[in-house]
Amino acid sequence: MTSLRDVDFSWLRPIRAQLASLQEAPIFVAYSGGLDSTCLLHLICQTIPRHRVTALHIHHGLSVHADAWLEHCRATCADWRCGFESQCVDVTESGDGLEAAARRARYAAFEQLLPTQALLLQGHHGDDQLETLMLHLLRGSGPAGMRGIPSRRSLGAGQVWRPLLQVRRAQLLQYAEHFDLRWVEDDSNIDQAFDRNFLRAEIAPLLQQRFPQLYSGMAASVEAMVEADYLQRAMAAQDAALHDPTLPLASLLALDEVRQRNVLRHWCQHHTGQPLARSALQQLQQSVLHAKNDSSPQLMLGDWRIVRSRQTLALLPVVELASDWSVVWDFQCPLQTPYGVLVALPERGGWCFPKRVEVAFRQGGEALRPVGRGITKSLKTLFKEHNVPQWQRQSTPLLWSDDVLLCAVDIAVDESCRGKDSAMGWRLVWQSQILSKQTQF
Contact 235, 262 (CB under 8 A): yes
Distance of alpha carbon 126 from alpha carbon 398, whole angstroms: 57
The region that residue 429 occupies, defined by phi over 0 for left and psi between -120 and 50 for alpha, beta otherwise, is beta
Per-residue pLDDT for 7 more than 60? no
CA angle 367, 436, 235 (to 5 degrees): 125
- E-strand ranges in 11-147 read 27-30, 53-59, 83-88, 119-121
CA separation for the pair 309, 249 (Å, rounded): 9
- pLDDT at residue 27 in the model: 93
Q: How far apart are CA 310 and CA 388, in angstroms?
A: 10
Under 8 Å between Cβ of 236 and 265 = yes
Dmax (CA) of the chain: 90
Task: Please state whether beta strands 83-88 and 53-59 pair in parallel, antiparallel, or not at all (unpaired).
Answer: parallel
Q: What is the mean pLDDT of residues 110-130?
A: 92
Residue 190: pLDDT band (50, 70, 90) is: confident
Residue 413 has what DSSP assignment?
Answer: E
* Position with higher pLDDT, 100 vs 231: 231
Residue range 297-326: average pLDDT? Answer: 79
Q: Which of 36, 84, 83, 26 is nearest to 58 (CA)?
A: 84
Q: Write out pLDDT tens, residues 382-395.
A: 988 888 877 778 88
* Angle at 195 (CA atoms; ends 193, 197), nearest 5 degrees: 80
Sign of dihedral through CA atoms 251, 254, 257, 259?
A: negative
Contact 62, 194 (CB under 8 A): no
As a whole number of angstroms, the distance between CA 267 and CA 271 comes to 7
Higher-confidence position of 180 and 6: 180
Main-chain phi, psi angles of 426, to 5 degrees? -130, 140
Question: Strand, coil or helix: what is 243?
Answer: coil
Give yes or no for a contact between 89 and 58, defined as CB atoms under 8 angstroms apart: yes
pLDDT of residue 82: 95
Whether the pLDDT of residue 140 is over 90: the answer is no
Least confidently predicted of 11-20, 159-168, 246-255, 275-284 = 275-284
Cα 234 to Cα 211: distance, rounded to the nearest angstrom: 35
Name which CATH class applies to 240-317. mainly alpha
Which strand (E) or helix (H) includes residue 110?
A: helix 98-113
Distance CA 340, CA 438 (A): 10
pLDDT at 439: 78
Contacts of 234 (CB under 8 A, 6+ apart): none
Confidence tier at 52 by pLDDT (50, 70, 90): very high
Average pLDDT, the chain: 87
pLDDT at 252 over 70: yes
Residue partners of 364: CB distance under 8 A and separation at least 6: none
What is each CA distance from 142 to 139, 220, 226, 338, 356, in whole angstroms?
A: 9, 16, 11, 36, 55
The gap from C-alpha 71 to its chain's centroid, in whole angstroms, comes to: 32
Per-residue pLDDT, 338: 85
For residue 286, pLDDT beyond 80: yes
Distance CA(106)–CA(88), nearest Å, equals 9
Do β-strands 119-121 and 335-337 pair in parallel, antiparallel, or remain unpaired?
unpaired
Contact 232, 260 (CB under 8 A): no
Residue 132 class from Cβ within 10 Å (0-12 exposed, 13-18 middle, 19+ buried)?
buried
Segments making up each domain of the chain, as ranges: 4-216, 240-317, 326-440
410-433 pLDDT tens trace: 899 999 988 887 788 889 998 887
- What mean pLDDT comes out for the span 167-193? 89
Q: Per DSSP, what are the bridge partners of residue 428?
A: 344
Residue 93: per-residue pLDDT: 78
Residue 294 has pLDDT above 70, yes or no: no
pLDDT of 95 above 70: no
Would the pTM count as exceeding 0.85? no
Gap between the Cα atoms of 323 and 88, Å rounded: 39
Q: Half-sphere exposure of residue 158, counting CA atoms within 13 Å on the CB side? A: 21
Round to whole Å and give the CA distance between 353 and 413.
10
Run of H or E residues at 257: helix 257-272
d(CA 332, CA 314): 33
Q: Are 326 and 360 in contact (CB under 8 A)?
A: yes
Report the pLDDT value the prediction gives residue 39, as an integer from 0 to 100. 96
Q: What is the mean pLDDT of residues 249-262?
A: 90
Per-residue confidence band for 436, with pLDDT thresholds at 50, 70 and 90: low
If one counts every other C-beta atom within 10 angstroms of the C-beta of residue 368, the result is 26
What's the pLDDT score for residue 316?
78
DSSP state of 115: P
* Residue 195: predicted pLDDT: 87
* Fold (CATH) for 4-216: Rossmann fold (3.40.50)
